[in-house]
Structure 1
Amino acid sequence: MKDFKADTKANRILKILPFLFLMFSVQGFSQDHSMHQEKKADSKNDEVGTISFGGKTVRYDLYVKDTLVNFSGKSARAIATNGKLQAPTLYFKEGDTAEIYLHNQLKENTGLHWHGVILPNEMDGVPYLTTKEVKPGETHLYKFSISQNGTYWCHSHEGTQEQIGMNGILVFQKREDQPDKKFDADIPVLLGEWTDENPKQIMRKLHMDQGNYWAVKKGTVQSYSEAVKVGHFGTKLLNEWKRMEAMDVSDVYYNNFLINGAVSSDYKNLKAGDKVHLRVANGGSSSYFWLNYGGGKITVIGNDGNEVEPVEVDHLIVGVSETYDIVLTIPENKSFEFRSTSEDRQGHASLWLGNGDKIEAPTLPKLMLFEGMKMMNGMMEMSGDMKPMTMTMGNQMMDMNEVMYPEIPESQRMATMKHMNEMMGMKDKSSNVKMDHGEMTMDSNTEMDHSKIDMDVDMTVDHSMHNMGTSDMKTIKRLNYNMLKSPFKTILPDDNVKELNFTLEGNMRNYLWTLDNKTVAESDKILIKKGQVLRITMYNNSMMRHPMHLHGHDFRLVNSQGEYSPLKNVVDMAPMETNTIEFAANQDGDWFFHCHILYHMMAGMGKVFTYENSAPNSQISDKESSYSKFLSTNRMISTTAMLDVASNKLHFENMTMFGARWMNVNEFHSNYKFDHYEGSVKVGRFVGKYQWAMPYVGFRTNKTHDMAKTWFGQNVMPENQNVAIAGIRYILPFLITADANVDHNGKVRLELGREGIPISPRIRGSFAVNSDKEFDFGLKYILQKWVSVSTNYDSEFGFGAGLTFMY
């Protein structure tokens, strides 16, 4: 490892100086990183000869326009930059001035955000917040000085454009007097995913809890029949008793996973002994990726553009929007696979390095989802909160998904479950476990084994021979944040500190993701003063990972390295983790802090930091109006509809979500003569952070031949067939919806029902019963995302069968 470290005293001083400037609130960073590049910009986008202070002015022209791609036999819309699915890699040297002209040839607004780059506020590229939108036909200039070196990336912050190809890698080389480490190859690696589906429709379906068909496609339904087959019927019952959905680690179904816009690529001009520098950026919109290599170890030398002391691992997970600089060695004259596997293990993309026989990277088998469900049951309270822990877990100390990894021996998976139980006080409540700057300590009363808690080492089966039955074992080391160490001290002053605490929360039902149960549209800006140190402690009270990204600043992630804690701009918040970040307030203007999973951000998971007494932003002429437009992008209006055309009746339902809290629910069912029908309209607001309850008002209309009495002795048909109603809907255990309402004549009605009971991967059950003594039972077989075959028995209309259409 020693050959990757700086080897001169002068170089050490150069590394320390920029962070000293940061501590004294100098705008911008100028940190030293151990990076290198040999590839130059192509002739079209080569450097312009204008000299600026400390470097050249380097110009690029980026032309974005609509195109079509075909990865699965179906053409789908994408955004091409200079004719390709992703933008060309942009190269600069520290000290250069970047001049990047964005030419918008789309039919919609666009823009670019320079992820992790320290630059003036008006160049940050968030429409309506920091930078004006780039309208169709316009050309916009982004101009800023390069005060960093390392690997960064850029992407659109406009709508869902990032999902369909509008991103690319940025390479910032060191200054001429600080030469980069020489490698035999330097390869930008942009990780990504591809879906043939319109990403706006993805967001709509997530918002409306309409991802059933994705689960079918992914094989992640976790139905009752599947639970019985693998001996987890009780696990499934408890899961639904606690009002939880099925277990998964990714929300979206993707057709393909990509590296540099392709499923597989070859780099053949490499030989035995060559050292290859990969500049990896996770440009996916919602996918985490596991990285491993068929040629042996991976050496990590940088993270989020910042240099770290080299560390050797066997594999690592890259959070959404994180970057890693890694070094691989070609061990012999063969072709070795560098593989990026989606966290949900639905697929992978490959780089083949070298020439000759192909040596594959280890295959990661499908997750054991019911084991994850069992773990989730143990971690979750009936209230929806996580169970309190007797220790603080942070810095990726424990991968709770480990219980789902088939490649890990059962003994270790059970040990992980045991440790989770102990940390939640379910076994040894006398233990006193705490974290001190990322280091775990316990008193002498605890029964926990330190060696088993050390998550730097992961005992797994060696799959390099692809024999799942092998008993050969080897120690496999995976990266976690506690292993990242800055080569220079990053400690910040302890005076003038502003401390903040955020709890990350949400639910999948209405796709609500918040900080402290507030979306960015529901939150005030957080006022900060230049010269302060911001210390933010975050706790993830949800079962999803959240890669939290801060614009315009690097922060230090407090870990076990103490004064040498690493600098980052993204922190992966795993479920139940607590992490602390610190940064010097040395900028101006408004800066976005948000979850970098695109759909979590669009659902509202973020905050805005605003500097007190900021200078006017030349890009934002009407700050108040622009900010309102920015907030409106986090107030989605989504709708879903269902039409059941059966031989006995017509049944229609429509639901519309207005932002995070408000919902309109419309229902209507009738015979084909339309002389026997009932319909209702309800408008309500969800209350509580898990949105179990929704008080509402509305009206109901009906026409019936039945003059029977209700359970409460009232007439089924009111005097007035059109009545105003008020009531409340509430989610009971087993995900049953209870509805209690009263009309303006005083008639009370109680309803119980549930849709979408997962009987098998494609069969869904439903039932409904009410105090008017009406009931309905149904089954659906999912044919494809829009259509199901259905059958039902209705107490009013009898037996019927037909088709159900979904939107």
Structure 2
Amino acid sequence: MIRLPRNRAQARHGITRRRFVTTSSLACASLALNGCSALGGVKNISRRQEWGAADIVVERRPVGIEGRSCEAVTLNGSVPGPTLRYREGETATIRVQNRLDVDTSVHWHGLILPPNMDGVPGVSFRGIAPGETFTYHFPIRQSGTYWYHSHSGFQEQLGMFGALVIEPVENDPIESDVEHVVLLSDWTFEDPMRILARLKKKAGYYNFQKPTIAADGLGAILANRTTWGRMRMDPTDISDVTGASYTFLMNGMGPESNWTGLYEAGQTVRLRLVNAAAASYFDVSIPGLAMTVVQADGQNIEPVTVDELRISIAETYDVLVRPKENRAYTLFAESMDRSGYARGTLAPQMGMSAEIPLPRKRPLLGMQDMGMAGMASMNMAQAKSVIPGKGMGRMQEQSAISNTEIARKTTSGQKMSGTKVGHGKEIPTWAQPVPHNLDNHGPANTNIPDSTKGRLDQPGIGLDDAEHRVLVYTDLRRLVPADVQVEPEREIEMHLTGNMEKYIWGFDGKKYSESSEPVQFRYGERLRITFVNDTMMNHPIHLHGMWMELVNGAGKHQPRKHTVNVKPAERVSLDVTVDAIGKWAMHCHILYHMDSGMFRVVEVTESPQTEIDDVS
């Protein structure tokens, strides 16, 4: 059940305090504080832990994953770490002790806090040296489902992450009887540095799902080798690291270990879904149960009922389910490339399980993923002459815009308009194709689309043809509208670029080591950031320190996001009220992309910036 906040003061905070009904056992409740090791156990978070201070110890410890012993970077001895619970308005004091032999850090993903508490070494914080204890101390200014993780090296991939749940100060409009935190992640028994080295030598090293004669036919194989080979791409290259290396986990437990969340028939169950993976997207469903999505990235949204949702890396979604029978249901999280899955069970008692869905056919990249919408109906043999970097058609080049920053002089309250095409159908502004600009961003960008457009109404590769209801970004509408819709004063266009052969990723053709100057934001301005994905990979982009509002046609109901997925050949616009002075990170949340260069520093200053003429 969803109830609107009673007044605007509550609405500004986004949500109000939820009424809780405790149903878990004392043993399960204690795990909310102590965490759940990968050796097993139930992590049923259904009562609030009252605390103002917490102590976290970071150290390497042995854990068990699907019967195999391995060493992880643990938080208080477990993978994932403890679920931290606060109430909006409290002040968090979290002491992090580093028992590693290298520096560490903790980033509070999605929280609005001072820059020196954000936990990104080299940006506004030096990191936590071996043997040191660093005290994070910051006010809790929001509520919802978030998470925390290391921002040092590959510690996040090695298990250093946990959930963060903040209850609203007032009554919560989201009512449930029991809740469970569901942390999805990917575990590898390999050294992450070795994974990165292999990707740099051969980007498709972990792609064992290439087309075969048996599955695809000889003609398709030859067309693939002729066309995609010339383009230095593979249509099955959906994820850089796949189930060939990964074991997919739910609350630290593999599919065979079967994490279980308890409920009783007739109860409303709230699932706080968090994608804490290093490099994996998940498609989440519960066969036999519809999911009502009520929160996205910690922010309440108008309820939308779906059968499946894709959760990008670093995103969170809260969903409500209402089992009417005392039976087991499979909580299924299949990897986007269909190379594996995480799995758990919702059940009235421990030890129960339900049928696991059969794996679906692995998806293939197509023409629209290359930004070649006009060639969407062509087969691969017909498209073989198109080579990225050699024009890709380059239609309408004369009207392309060559600069990356455009001054926007708009009128407050101006409505977005669409373009009418065929039979009077209107294409929303965010979905209109835009020719690629004249800058191909150099050798660090090997895929240059003809044009890019918004694909917010599409669930994404592998789900676009689904016959059931799948969540899309146009479904997201904030529960309480903004008082006014403030139009952006200017726009920054940033291209997401990559060279798969050399495994280099960056913004505008430059990796982080080549970007000497921070991206400048002006304190107090209303800014539009448009991300343009020149690559054939999905990229979950995260901005620290400030909310991004997704431009999805929802007007005053534009949803707030801390992480937004940008599909291949897509352009996504987000409006930012620049209200946090300091230096902040902005990066792709695929850990191997970030480490390979897709990272920038944003600097917010009060100093005036030079006005940029309107060239549109």
TM-score when normalising by structure 2: 0.77
Displacement of 1:613 in angstroms is: 4.8
Aligned residue in 1 for 2:476: 484
Aligned pairs (5 A) from 1:668-687? none
2: distance between equivalents of 1:45 and 1:338?
23
Matches within 5 A, 1:408-423: none
Return 5+ residue gaps in structure 1 as ranges: 19-29, 47-55, 391-428, 442-452, 462-472, 615-807
Instruction: Give the SS at the match of 1:160.
Output: coil
CA displacement, residues 341-389 of structure 1 (integer Å, 9 cap, x when unaligned)? 11111111222111376433543413154x7599765599413476669
C-alpha separation between the residues in 1 aligned to 2:570 and 2:82? 36
AA in 2 matched with 1:537:
T
CA distance in 1, matches of 2:31, 2:432: 53
Q: How does 1:199-598 map to 2 (within 5 A)?
A: 199-209=192-202, 211-212=204-205, 214-215=206-207, 219-222=208-211, 228-229=217-218, 231-245=220-234, 247-253=236-242, 254-264=245-255, 265-267=258-260, 269-355=262-348, 358-360=353-355, 362-369=357-364, 372=366, 378=383, 381-384=386-389, 435-438=427-430, 455=458, 475-490=467-482, 494=486, 497-523=489-515, 524-598=517-591
Contact 2:16 2:171 in 1 (8 A): no
Spell out the pairing of 1:686-697 with structure 2 (5 A cutoff). none
Compared CA separation, residues 474 and 117, structure 1 to 2 (3 A): closer
Q: What letter matches 2:228 in structure 1?
A: N
Contact 2:304-2:475 within 8 A present in 1 as well: yes
Give 3-state SS (helix, strand or coil) of 1:359's partner: coil
Distance 1:561 1:575, change over 3 A: same
Contact 2:33 2:83 survives alignment (8 Å):
no
- Counterpart of 1:507 in structure 2: which amino acid? N
CA distance in 2, matches of 1:211, 1:493: 44
CA distance in 2, matches of 1:383, 1:474: 30
Tell me if structure 2 keeps the 8 A contact 1:127–1:133.
yes
Q: 2: CA distance between counterparts of 1:491 and 1:558?
A: 17
**Secondary structure of 1:163's match?**
coil
Could you tell me how far 1:563 is from its partner in structure 2? 1.9
1:201 Cα offset (Å): 1.1
The Cα offsets for residues 278-306 of structure 1, whole Å up to 9 and x where unpaired, read as: 11110000100000002321110000111
Matches within 5 A, 1:683-762: none
Q: 1:495 to 1:251 in 2, by over 3 A?
A: closer
- The question of 1:600 aligning with 2:598 is answered no
AA aligned to 1:352 is: T
Quote how far apart the aligned CAs of 1:533 are.
Answer: 1.1
**1:198 equivalent in structure 2:** 191
CA contact (8 A) 1:33 1:306 kept: no
Is the contact made by 1:57 and 1:97 (CA closer than 8 Å) also made in structure 2?
no
Q: In the alignment, what sits opposite 2:418?
A: none
Contact 2:523 2:578 in 1 (8 A): yes
**1:153 is matched with which residue?**
147
Between the aligned partners of 1:97 and 1:525, the Cα distance in structure 2 is: 30
Contact 2:497 2:506 in 1 (8 A): yes
| Fraction of identical pairs, as percent | 33
- Residue identity matched to 1:363: L
Q: Does 1:141 align with 2:135?
A: yes
CA distance in 1, matches of 2:387, 2:190: 35
Equivalent runs, 1:637-656 vs 2, <5 Å: none
Which residue identity is paired with 2:355?
E
Paired amino acid for 1:479 = L
Could you tell me how far apart the structure 2 residues matched to 1:582 and 1:266 are? 39
Distance 1:178 1:505 in 2: 44
Q: Cα offset for 1:495? A: 6.7
For the structure 1 residues 75 and 246, does the alpha-carbon distance in structure 2 shift closer, same or farther, using more than 3 Å as the test? farther
The residue number in structure 1 matching 2:438 is none
Mapped to 2, the partners of 1:495 and 1:373 lie a distance apart of 34
Q: CA deviation at 1:193?
A: 0.7
Query: What TM-score do you get using the length of structure 1 for normalisation?
Result: 0.60
Q: Is 2:18–2:171's contact at 8 Å kept on the other side of the alignment?
A: no
Take 2:300 and 2:385, find their aligned partners in 1: how far apart are those partners?
A: 38
Quote the Cα distance in structure 2 between the aligned partners of 1:44 and 1:274.
21
Deviation at 1:234, TM superposition (A): 2.2
1:495-547 CA distance string (max 9 Å, x none): 77231001111121111112111122222212222111111111111100000
Tell me how far apart the structure 1 counterparts of residues 598 and 216 of structure 2 sit (CA, whole Å): 33
Q: CA deviation at 1:433?
A: 8.7
The Cα shift of 1:586 comes to 0.7
Aligned to 1:660: none
Cα 1:477–1:101 change in 2 (3 A) is same
State how far apart, in whole Å, the 2-side matches of 1:251 and 1:296 are. Answer: 32
Structure number with higher relative contact order (C-alpha < 8 Å, ≥ 6 residues apart)? 2
Q: 1:490·1:567 contact (CA, 8 Å) conserved in 2?
A: no
Partners of 1:293 and 1:361 within 8 A in 2: no
Change (3 A) 1:438 1:44: closer
Larger displacement relative to structure 2 (252-261 or 301-310) = 252-261
Superposition CA RMSD, Å = 3.5
Higher CA-based Rg = 1
One-letter amino acid of the structure 2 residue matched with residue 5 of structure 1: R
Which residue number in structure 2 is paired with residue 5 of structure 1? 3
Q: Which has the higher mean CA deviation after the structures are superposed, 37-46 or 63-72?
A: 37-46
- Give 1:32's match in structure 2, choosing from 1, 11, 15: 15
- Distance in structure 1 (CA, Å) of the matches to 2:581 and 2:369: 45
Q: State the shift of 1:318 in Å.
A: 0.4
- Tell which deviates more after alignment, 133-142 or 244-253: 244-253
| Alpha-carbon contact 1:547-1:595 (below 8 Å) kept | yes
- Deviation string, structure 1 residues 712-771 (Cα, Å, up to 9, x no partner): xxxxxxxxxxxxxxxxxxxxxxxxxxxxxxxxxxxxxxxxxxxxxxxxxxxxxxxxxxxx
Task: State the shift of 1:339 in Å.
Answer: 0.8
Structure 2 match to 1:105:
99
Asked whether the 8 Å contact 1:458–1:475 carries over to 2, the reply is no
Pick from 109, 114, 136 the counterpart of residue 115 of structure 1: 109
Question: SS of the counterpart of 2:556?
Answer: helix
Whole-angstrom distance in 1 between the partners of 2:550 and 2:281: 20
- Residues 498, 506 of structure 2: 8 Å contact kept: yes
The 2-side partners of 1:545 and 1:63 are apart by 34
DSSP 3-state at the match of 2:111 = coil
| 1:563-608 Cα deviation digits (max 9, x unpaired) | 2111111110001111110111111110111111001111111221
Deviation at 1:271, TM superposition (A): 2.1
Q: Closer, same or farther in 2 for the Cα pair 1:117/1:375, shift >3 Å? A: closer
1:489 Cα offset (Å): 2.2
User: Shift of residue 200 of structure 1?
Assistant: 1.2
- d(CA) in 1 for partners of 2:277, 2:145: 16
SS at match of 2:86: strand
2:9 corresponds to 1:14 = yes
Give the SS at the match of 1:518. coil
Aligned length: 524
Structure 2 unaligned residues grouped into runs of 5+ = 35-49, 371-379, 397-420, 434-455, 608-616
